[in-house]
Amino acid sequence: MQRTSSEPRRFLFVLWDGGGNVPPQLALARRLTERGHRVRVIAPRVLQSRIETANCLFIPFTEAPEHDSTSQTQDLSMDWAARSPIDGATRARDRIIFGPALTYSRDVFAAIEAERPDVVVTDYLLLGAYVAAERAGLPLAALVHTVYPLPAPGLPPYGMGFSPAKGPLGHARDAIFTQIFRRFYNAGLGKLNQVRTECGLSPLTSIFEQFARADRLLVMTSPAFDFPDVTLPSNTRYVGPQLDDPAWLTPWERPTSDDGRKPLVLVSLSTTCLRQEDLLRRIIAALADLPVQAVVTLGPALQVDDFSLPANVQAEPYLAHVLVCPQADLVVTHGGLGTVITALSAGVPLVCLPLARDQGDNAARVVWRGAGVRRASTASVADLRRAMRLVLEQPQYRAAAQRVAAGIAREGGPATAIAEVEQLAGSSVGVTG
């Protein structure tokens, strides 16, 4: 990758361990180091080795909570234990966005004073980092590792798994749920303003003002995947998927078959704890009676000994999806954005089985684009088998996935994100206050 910026800059990344949010942000951080920039990442200790593998310097939190998304006892939000979708969203709101915001602001400001960065680049959920950057007078880029989640014209309310509204009833639905969404997150306004007051900043009247104060909200997906006719705020940019560079990864060879080339199915149900064991057992049972080869990535949350595997199913703790997807014919997934966008970037259709979080929103876009189907995570073995057979046998799903892939390829790839953060770094005037 050729350098275009005039001189090396200093970037301070702020990261939490939420599973799928980590790889795209570290992919961007590593590409910046490849261009000669100095990149420091303040994060929980569980991410230290991954940060150092990305050729960045790790800075541990001192006040913000240590956590590990693969552990039921150390997960930050513990939304896998939620009794309802609202309970899950409440846990994320209170335990990630607002609850630790003051400690994040203190840790990030201390790192700013020590590292003297030109720009702060943070996971978009860590509002404490926004406040620290504002206090220091530094530009801030927030990395949105989901589809765009804030209210915007043309977008159905986030978190509901809705498709775009149709007719008066659909628009009334969106208006009602948008108001609910705003009230739900503005319940954290008091805590955010406490952080701002400690940092010598004026209070806000809505938490959405804090997002508007970011110099950039960089949405790490593509308009080719998102719903059409969406109007984003002026500080917001799509920067495309930030996928790992295959050159950095261990090569992968697909399983061999005694019956010629069978379709290859990749199954991935998150690296974090989502109580996905029962669903995975049903998927494996459905695959047993299909004329396919399948590879299941378990992640650190699951163990291979917990599953009985038929002859046509192989399980691995970890495989780089960016290497497997170009060889796959179908991806079966919970609908996490990392897996979905990697599959679509390779033109591979999907069966989406949302479990929680933003997965319903991602599945809605897959279905809207015609690139796969959505089924309930409670679907029976027979229903799962029918869904997989449908997507494998009907060519329109692959054709639609390939159209999305072509759209993503036209958008410039990682260079767009690099250009955005380098431009911010070049406009910095240094630390103040």
User: From start to end of 15-87, where are the E strands?
Assistant: 38-43, 57-60
Q: What is the pLDDT of residue 16?
A: 94
Angle at 414 between CA 118 and CA 337, to 5 degrees: 105
| Cα(7)–Cα(35) distance, integer angstroms | 10
How many other CB atoms are found less than 10 A from the CB of residue 278?
10
Q: What is the pLDDT of residue 73?
A: 79
Identify the architecture of domain 10-240+411-426 in CATH: 3-Layer(aba) Sandwich (3.40)
Contacts 24+ apart (CB under 8 A), 259-262: 259/291, 262/291, 262/292, 262/293, 262/312
Q: What is the pLDDT of residue 152?
A: 92
Q: What is the pLDDT of residue 414?
A: 87
Q: What is the pLDDT of residue 297?
A: 86
Length of the chain in residues, anyone?
433
Mean pLDDT of 240-261: 72
Range with the largest mean pLDDT of 184-188, 229-233, 314-318:
184-188
Residue percentage of the chain with pLDDT more than 90: 69
Structure tokens at 92: 């994320």
76, pLDDT greater than 80: no
pTM of the full structure: 0.90
Mean pLDDT of 287-291: 94
Backbone angles phi, psi at 267, to 5 degrees: -115, 125
Cβ(198)–Cβ(204) below 8 Å: no
Q: Which residues partner with 141 through β-bridges?
A: 121, 216
pLDDT digits (tens, 9 = 90+) for 14-66: 999 988 899 999 999 999 999 999 999 999 999 999 999 999 999 999 999 99
Cβ(69)–Cβ(76) below 8 Å: yes
| Cα(291)–Cα(407) distance, integer angstroms | 31
**247-409 CATH pick, 3.40.50.620, 3.40.50.720, 3.40.50.150, 3.40.50.2000:** 3.40.50.2000
Q: What is the pLDDT of residue 75?
A: 75
Q: What is the pLDDT of residue 430?
A: 42
216, pLDDT greater than 80: yes
Backbone angles phi, psi at 325, to 5 degrees: -60, -40
pLDDT digits (tens, 9 = 90+) for 77-126: 676 666 777 888 898 899 999 999 999 999 999 999 999 999 999 999 99
Q: What is the pLDDT of residue 168?
A: 93
Cβ(339)–Cβ(268) below 8 Å: yes
Q: Which residue is associated with the tokens 């589809």? A: 147
For the chain, the average pLDDT equals 89
The Cα diameter of the chain in Å comes to 69
Q: What is the pLDDT of residue 4?
A: 45
3, pLDDT greater than 50: no
Q: Which residue is associated with the tokens 């079966």? A: 332
Domain range list for the chain: 10-240+411-426, 247-409
Mean pLDDT lowest among 71-75, 212-216, 423-427:
71-75
Q: What is the pLDDT of residue 300?
A: 66
Q: What is the pLDDT of residue 150?
A: 96
pLDDT digits (tens, 9 = 90+) for 335-379: 999 999 999 999 999 999 998 888 999 999 999 999 999 999 899
Strand order in the sheet with 57-60: 57-60, 38-43, 10-14, 119-123, 140-144, 216-219, 236-238
Domains 10-240+411-426 and 247-409 fall in the same CATH topology: yes
Nearest to 366 by CA among 393, 413, 331, 417: 331
Q: What is the pLDDT of residue 270?
A: 63
Nearest to 121 by CA among 155, 89, 145, 99: 145
Q: What is the pLDDT of residue 432?
A: 38
Report how far apart the first and last C-alpha atoms of the chain are (Å, whole number): 36
Q: What is the pLDDT of residue 341?
A: 95
Residue percentage of the chain with pLDDT more than 70: 91
Cβ(287)–Cβ(389) below 8 Å: no
